Each structure stands twice: as structure tokens, then as C-alpha cells.
Amino acid sequence: IRRHKSTQPIAASLLELGGVQISKQDVVKDEPTNNVPDLIFTKLGLQLHRRDNHPLGILKNAIHEYFDSNYNSQFLKFDDLCPIVTTKQNFDDVLVPADHVSRSYNDTYYIDADTVLRCHTSAHQAELLRKGYTNFLVTGDVYRRDSIDSTHYPVFHQMEGVRVFSPNDWNDSGKDGTSYAADDLKACLEGLARHLFGAVEMRWVDTYFPFTNPSFELEIYFQEKWLEVLGCGVMEQEILKRGGKTDNVAWAFGLGLERLAMVLFDIPDIRLFWSTDKRFTSQFTKGQLGIKFKPFSKYPPCYKDMSFWINDSFTENNLCEIVRGVAGDLAEEVVLIDNFTNKKGMTSHCYRITYRSMERSLTDEEINELQWNVRDQVQRQMNVELR
Ligand code: FA5
Ligand code: MG
């Protein structure tokens, strides 16, 4: 990890870079640096997806089984590739445009200007294709600066799948390569959903990814809402071409493992995956897909509102990072509940923060102290005016 010596005060550029942790370090103007907070560093290497008794490990193994039995064990499995990757792997190799938002310091954790914590397992697609693999699954922890609620967490797990076809595969089908691959992809993932869930309400939604065309998302009905569980599509020809596969067509998908595991095991909050509380961990057993999580008594939430005048560099991801930096997993949700602009053109935001522990009751003093710390850090790091 490179550190930079500062030569001059640069308060303004700190915010341009997405603030928060960056402001604790010395930064040279225009030279981006590390924005990975301690909370995230402590998650590196935990590899929940490699624990056979953890819901994510159980799910990963069940998906492996589905592919083994339906594809004659053709799919090679990787689950130990390093989450620290180059910006080339994470973005350029999968054709993410130079100005795409996902590259910003607001959305991605940078170790230095050329190195990130992968924000998706697609970071490994191109390299594995170049090495000659044509059917593979990659599971790993991925990292994103994101909002705070029951289905979003800054570290989560994905499984990437890639399957390459040659003209022989589709020539007799009466379809062109692209529609053949798209139909095969949807059939494969619908089969997977049936294997995991039996009957479940699901729907396909058309979407956009820089690396696939056409692109789709699969949503599953869960807790009275449609929950997006995966993105997928037919791989852009350019990626195959660069991998030396000019005449081929391929599909690719990226599953959100927490989202699928929440549906499968009835896990109501994404923070639970990180719990070391026996009342959580003891409920899951290697190889057992049918288990439904029995929530231990739900402790009361506590709501705290805060209002401030925002500035041009304000972002919700920065706010969430500060809240998590102070409250850790005690922060359950951060939502904008009021937003207005006055005659002078100043914009005020009011956020409601929900604090709740999964494991115990929080005291008033404890919550008040968290909230005071959040207010203090927000004011100092984001340069906003509290109201
Ligand atoms: C991607 O990451 C693409 N790389 C997926 C892909 C792969 C598309 C290959 C095409 C081909 P997306 O950002 O939508 O796409 O994330 C994929 C899944 O990860 C989502 O559907 C969701 O299930 C899960 N996910 C996204 N953000 C979070 C989060 N903050 N917490 C938990 N799960 C998340
Ligand atoms: Mg998505």
C-alpha cells in the first residue's frame, strides 16, 4: 500500500475523491489514494464462502453440485482468487468505459490508483478465458461502497459463471449463436433456481452491463418485494476476441450469494452472515439446504434523525461509510426522509438512521453516543452544515 506525503493543504480535493478515510491520510492533489476503511480491511481473508457450515458455503456447494450433475463436471471451480485486483482486471478487461460511475472513488474501494478490492467476480473472466478455460465458476468476496439496508452490505459474495460455445453447438439449432446462448443461459439459471428453491416466484428483467449483450437480471419475490439476485447475459464479442476466441459465443452470470441465501434459508438481514453468535452459526449444517433460520428474539430498533445542508461533493455512499465507521454493524438502515431546497438555493437533507443489534438490546446512552459521534464525523469529514 502506497502512502503519499502531502505538500500542501488540499481540503477540496479530499471531497472530490470521495472523502471519508482518505482525509485521514496524506494525499497529493489529484493523486488518488487508499479509501479502504478499517472495517473493510478486517473482512479481507475471512472467506465465508469456503466454510462448509456457513450458509454461504452450503449454498456454494449446492450450486457446484447442480453444475456437476447437469454438465458432467465440466465446470472448473475457483474460490480462492485474490480479491485485490488491478483496475485493468476489474474494469478495462470487461470493457467498463473510462467514465463509468463504478470506477469512481465513491463506488469502489481503491488500494492505490491502479489497485482495487474487486467489485465483482467478473474481474476474473478475461484472464481465465485467456488461459484457455471455457466452462468455469468463480466464487469470492467482493467489495463496494454502497447504501445501508437489510439487503446491501459493503462486502458480499458473488459467483461468476462462464460457458463458451463453438459453432457446432448452435449450428443445428436453427438459432444464431447469440439467441442460442441466451436461451441456454436462462434455462440453466431457471434450472438452478428450481434446484435450490423448488417453486419460487421469479421474473426476468432486461438490463445493461458493459460486458454482456443482451443482459438480464433475475428477481425473486421475497419478504413482499422483488429482490434482484443475479445479473447475466451473452458475453460481448470483444472480450472473447481478446481471449483468442473469435468464432465462439459465450454466456456469463454473476450471482449475489447473500441474496440467494437470504431467500433459501429465510435470513432476514444481510448483517447476520457476519455474525459469530452461536444462536446464528449453530443453525446451519454442511450439506443441508432445507434449513429455515429461526430468528432469535428481535431486539428493538432505535431511530435517530439528522438534518444538514449539503454541498456539491455530498454523496450518500460517503455518509453511509461514516455511519458504518462509527456504528459498524449496529447501523441497520440509513434512509433519506426529507429533502428540500430553500430560496437561496441551499439543499437540506434529513436522514433517518436505524440502530439495532442482532444480538442484544442497546442502551439509550450507547445509541446517543453513537449518534453524537456520527454527527461529529459527518460535520468534520463531509464539510456539511448540521441543522
Ligand atoms: C454485477 O456485479 C455483474 N458483474 C454481474 C454479471 C456477471 C453480469 C456476468 C453479466 C455477466 P450487479 O452489480 O448487478 O452485477 O451485482 C450482481 C448481484 O450482486 C446483484 O444481482 C445482487 O444480487 C448482488 N449485490 C449487488 N450489490 C450488493 C450489495 N451491496 N450487497 C449484497 N449483494 C449485492
Ligand atoms: Mg444489478
Cell of 258: 447473500
| C-alpha to C-alpha distance for 232 and 221, rounded to whole angstroms | 18
Give the lowest-confidence range in 20-34, 188-202, 214-228, 337-351: 20-34
Burial class of residue 330 (count of CB atoms within 10 Å of its CB; 0-12, 13-18, 19+)? buried
Reduced 3-state DSSP string for 52-91: CCCHHHHHHHHHHHHHHHHCCCCCEEECCCCCEEEHHHHC
- Give the end of a domain, one of 247, 281, 315: 281
Whether 258 lines ligand 1, by a CB cut-off of 6 Å, is yes
User: ipTM of the assembly?
Assistant: 0.99
Q: What is the pLDDT of residue 163?
A: 98
In a domain, 290, yes or no: no
pLDDT tens per residue across span 16-68: 333 333 333 433 334 457 999 999 999 999 999 999 999 999 999 999 999 99
For the Cβ of 231 lying below 6 angstroms from any atom of ligand 1, the answer is: yes
Asked whether residue 335 falls in the same domain as residue 240, the answer is no
87 lines ligand 1 (CB under 6 A): no
Instruction: Report residue 14's pLDDT band, with 50, 70 and 90 as the boundaries.
Output: very low
CA-nearest of 48, 49, 59 to 263 is 59
Radius of gyration for the alpha carbons in the chain, expressed in angstroms and rounded? 22
19: domain range? 1-34
For a mutational test of ligand 1's pocket, the pick from 49, 141, 156, 320, i.e. the residue with the most ligand atoms closer than 8 A to its C-beta, is 156
Residue 166 lies in a domain: yes
In a domain, 291, yes or no: no
- DSSP 8-class letter at 285: -
Whether residue 77 is predicted with pLDDT greater than 50 in this model: the reply is yes
Residue 8 — pLDDT band, cuts 50, 70, 90? Answer: very low
Q: For residues 210 and 183, state if they share a domain.
A: yes
- Pair (8, 112) in one structural domain: no
In a domain, 292, yes or no: no
Residue 231 alpha carbon to ligand 2 centre in Å: 6
143-160 per-position pLDDT tens digit: 999 999 999 999 999 999
**Closest ligand 1 atom to 218 CA:** 21
Q: Are 335 and 346 in contact (CB under 8 A)?
A: no
Query: Within this chain, do residues 269 and 345 fall inside the same structural domain, yes or no?
Result: no
Between the CA of 369 and the centroid of ligand 2 the distance, in Å, is: 35
> Which residue did the predictor score with more confidence, 218 or 290?
218
- 91 and 237 share one domain: yes
Query: Count of residues for the chain?
Result: 387
Q: Has residue 16 been placed in a domain? A: yes
CATH no. for residue 337? 3.30.70.380
Domain check: are 251 and 301 in the same one?
no
- Cβ atoms within 10 Å of 173's Cβ, excluding its own: 12
Structure confidence at residue 10 as a pLDDT band (50, 70, 90): very low
Q: How far apart are CA 111 and CA 236, in angstroms?
A: 28
State the total domains in the chain: 3
Mean pLDDT of 164-187: 97
Predicted local distance difference test score (pLDDT) of residue 298: 84
The answer on 194 and 273 residing in a single domain is: yes
Do both 313 and 374 map to the same domain?
yes
In terms of domains, do 237 and 304 share one?
A: no
The answer to whether position 289 is within a domain reads: no
For residues 193 and 277, membership in a common domain is answered with yes
The answer to whether position 65 is within a domain reads yes
